[in-house]
A and B are shown apart, each in its own frame.
Chain A
Amino acid sequence: EAGVAQSPRYKIIEKRQSVAFWCNPISGHATLYWYQQILGQGPKLLIQFQNNGVVDDSQLPKDRFSAERLKGVDSTLKIQPAKLEDSAVYLCASSLGPAKAFFGQGTRLTVV
């Protein structure tokens, strides 16, 4: 079974630039999550989708972050403009139900 695919694996940008990350969940998984993992901390939920609808985006900094999941499959997360404190690993995960979420390898973003 193919896992959760994310790209790119690494990205370096200057502050105030924009960046986008892509996620392809496991086939058939209706729920998709984006987490932010800052170095030395555990992942923090940014947004949760159920099919193509948003379930929870309460921790998404909406002034600069946006996410979409068109057609209920792939998802993109965008940051515009980026700040230094956005440097982190951005993890995508998907699940069929509450029991088990599968995580991608993440995109490591460095903002300089």
Chain B
Amino acid sequence: GNSVTQMEGPVTLSEEAFLTINCTYTATGYPSLFWYVQYPGEGLQLLLKATKADDKGSNKGFEATYRKETTSFHLEKGSVQVSDSAVYFCALTRDQAGTALIFGKGTTLSVSS
């Protein structure tokens, strides 16, 4: 079945540093790919998504590109802020026709000023 692997955390950065969180996947067919974020004390929120190869999802300065050749969907941000401190989850659809998601283990990002 489909699966996703994301880099282990925690990731600790200073404000304005560049962020990359790696995510690779294994899938049959062409799943949709997602990044979800969980801020302290809040529920999971969709950060960005991509539904086909070479699509770039973007939101709040974060970007990720659906790379079929490397089966990757790495999350990047050019300049992080303290308010970006959260847990980030990479996810993909379970199967070709479905909408349910398979999540990675999550990566904790801590940004200090």
Contacts and interface: CB of A to CB of B under 8 A. Distances in A.
A61 interface: no
A97 B99 contact: yes
A90 interface: no
Contacts of B106: 40-42
Interface residues of A, number: 26
Given A41-B106, A48-B100, A98-B32, A103 B89 contact: no
B67 interface: no
A56 B99 CA distance: 11
Interface string B74-97: 000000000000000101011000
A101 B94 CA distance: 14
Among A4, A95, A98, A104, find the residue whose CB has the most chain B CB atoms closer than 10 A.
Answer: A98
Contacts of B46: 100-102
B98 A56 contact: yes
Contact of A105 (B43, B49, B93, B104): B43
5 contacts: A40-B105, A55-B100, A101-B99, A102-B46, A106-B43
Interface of A: 3-4, 31, 33, 40-45, 48, 55-56, 91, 93, 95, 97-106
